[in-house]
Chain A
């Protein structure tokens, strides 16, 4: 525990305090709305500067710090532990949340949304503070308290518009799901905590003990609900779709990662992980990614689509985690190293480009009032800045060079290819399948996001709302610009972030210790950077070639319309028609619902065709199960009659039973 490390921990605690305080004026008064919002923005930025500098220092020096405060919570002390793994997760927290607060100044102005904005201000700060505490907590009780505050703060944030039924429903599903997760986490932590209820040190638990399997599944399901790993993702699509866009950005870019933090921290507590844990993670990650991107293809709601895409990316990170464990146990240290670098880099990258896309979706909603892709179109002319920034987010999420999504997937691919090239037969067969699944997921993601970008910004407006859109104001655009520049920088110069995150990658691999610089990821990336520069150089040449011939004349015309005299925007391809072929191919997995119109008579009237891809698990499994349980337990409702004197009789009866039992 050196001076620098404890200074970093102090900075992080200061950042937590500043973030928590940023929303408190909203708790006390509803006057001075603009001033309150600017106050919370400045405090969040100050918190971010403190938090980011602390996180950067810890990552660069690789030192960790444990500290205990002199107060105590019920049953536990307030103990903190700031190490490179925690610092990795502090980066998304303190990059995205201040930008979301800045975005909220014009997206959710206080003077127009008096009631809901106070809730948003207060709980944005509380959420940031709670997430930071979760990441640095070393005490079981502190972790659980912070986890619960984080879950509740997120609920308050996502039900900001609680006058809408959809918002209330998605909030309820989220609340139930997160509490089911917490229900599993409580026994996990009680079993994990030592005498002082602190978390054990890294690499001390024995994974071959009898309770280790139980703990693994408790951790996987408890944290998996928050992370959004299928099949525990049921709350995610509706919650991200119905929350305000900057809240969705924070939830998707940061809060899902906190769930992953829990799983990773749990795994690092053990000294040697059994290989089947790796296979479980790899299988869950692959299935998650495939099913999520297949579902995303069929969505019309822009934010639901982005939510499913988040599940896909979380699946990819889980695949990386599974690969690390499998490779360590198969004796392939290079593969483990590359996969760990890939997953830490992808955690950072996803936290850069997914909030960018959600901010863009918010900008679109702000301008057109709708998030239904079928009603958008032609927005590039009305909102050029949003269009360009959204294009950068789209390129990043489709993992295309030279942006950051490609850089992190490149590392994951290389780790899997290395395993295939140098491993034994079993490794090849087992790891070739995730590799090819990753390729399929990449192809589907490309299709999905070409559809999103083109249907929103290209062509002609499909509705009056889209035709009357206006460009968003600068406070909405500036966070997008910052995230887009960071994505571009992380893509073109991937060496810098990977070098920064090297300490965190090392922390994930249990057996590799030692030198700070690990050559495989760094030297690989220098090779691919050469490729990026070649691409950019040739692009420049081709642009020059084009510009040389522009002087010949460029006439304006209309799109080829096959001779129709009156073309209309409705003849364009719609989002449903674009993805129809793939959805029909994948209909076994995705189960789309088509409502075909019934045409009767010689002159039928107007009718409607709808196609949806519902959330299969929620509507097909969970809701019927819940209804079944409710019906079968209808008899028990006779006990809930509302008569106070009988309730007091219940209490008396319980007391008598407990007292007699105690005496026996």
Chain B
């Protein structure tokens, strides 16, 4: 019971802190002080208090987009085990539901973007659609590997079972899987090298340009949804990369929080040392990730 409560509290309140940590890391690399750690919370609160401006070209879909995508991401958050604790919602086949909840969020974000009738949002939606459907096979190969290793079809037993601790027997496959899933993490959350979250040039954006016309509380929903998506996919990734299960629950929670912050720092480091790839190279990298995941499957079978 307390675990479920902590799961919900962490899921709802920790994600913006990750963006703050990423910002501080990038600032450290560029010799700045940077925005405070809690700046994203201030931003969200500011957006909450604002009014909104809606384009006259938009319809109900523009308002429905952020609402449905946030609801889908929050529901997906209920399915992921954080650390080694069981999630609140778990049933056989929930990993398929998880993947398609993210697809639902993506559909409504793209539909809301195209609803404005602007070429900027159209461009963002076109790029997002192309890259996201190339990332799906990687995720499913990873789920196949996890299903095979754990012999079960629930996210909770796939990610928190004892098999995943066996780096000594399946280490090579897990290394490949971790590499492929890190690529998926970066592309789904629109980080460098796939998309630059701080660029101000519309022609170089993917996710940022899709939400160009949103404002007010709905824009707050979108920003918060982005942080929550990073949190959820980061938790998914950490369960495979750093499976650690110790003595008592509290130690596990603290380790999970520390691991998430470390993941945020590593994303910040990557954003600081790499530049965004040319758009033509992104599909190549995504296909490479799929092949890595396929090799991981072959390795665990032999």
Residues of A within 8 A of B (CB): 377-378, 380-381, 387, 391, 395, 398-401, 406, 410, 413-414, 417-418, 420-422, 425, 428-429, 432, 435-436, 439-440, 442-444, 446-447, 450-451, 453-455, 457-460, 523-524, 527-528, 530-531, 534-535, 538-539, 541-543, 545-546, 549, 552-562, 569, 571-573, 577-582, 585
Contacts and interface: CB of A to CB of B under 8 A. Distances in A.
B249 interface: no
Contact of B103 (A400, A440, A545, A585): A400
Interface residues of B, number: 84
A560 B219 CA distance: 15
A414 B93 contact: yes
Interface string B112-133: 0011111110110111011011
A569 B117 contact: yes
Given A460-B57, A558-B57, A581-B126, A539 B71 contact: yes
B144 A458 contact: no
Nearest to A422: B151
B48 A573 contact: no
B212 interface: yes
A219 to B, nearest CB: 32
Contacts of A538: 71, 74-75
A553 B133 CA distance: 37
Contact of A527 (B50, B53, B91): B91
Given A439-B137, A555-B51, A558-B57, A421 B130 contact: no
Contact of A459 (B74, B114, B298): B114
B169 to A, nearest CB: 16
A572 B212 CA distance: 15
B92 A414 contact: yes
B63 interface: yes
B289 interface: no
Interface centre among B97, B107, B120, B298 (most CB of A within 10 A): B97
B56 A556 contact: yes
B203 to A, nearest CB: 10
Given A395-B107, A400-B100, A557-B54, A546 B151 contact: no
Nearest to B202: A562
Contacts of B230: none
* The 3 nearest A-B residue pairs measured at CB: A573-B122, A527-B91, A443-B133
Contacts of A573: 114, 119, 122-123, 125-126
B144 A432 contact: yes
A400 B53 contact: no
Given A555-B51, A557-B55, A582 B117 contact: no
A458 B62 CA distance: 10
11 contacts: A417-B93, A428-B144, A524-B92, A527-B91, A527-B92, A527-B94, A546-B63, A552-B216, A556-B56, A559-B118, A577-B126
B52 A410 contact: no
Nearest to B68: A539
B140 A558 contact: no
B78 interface: yes
Contacts of A545: 217
Nearest to A539: B71
Contacts of A579: 126
B130 A581 contact: yes
Given A539-B67, A585-B130, A459 B120 contact: no
Contact of A413 (B96, B103, B107): B96
Contact of B97 (A381, A401, A450, A578): A401
B99 to A, nearest CB: 8
Contacts of A420: 144, 147-148
A450 B129 contact: yes
B89 interface: yes
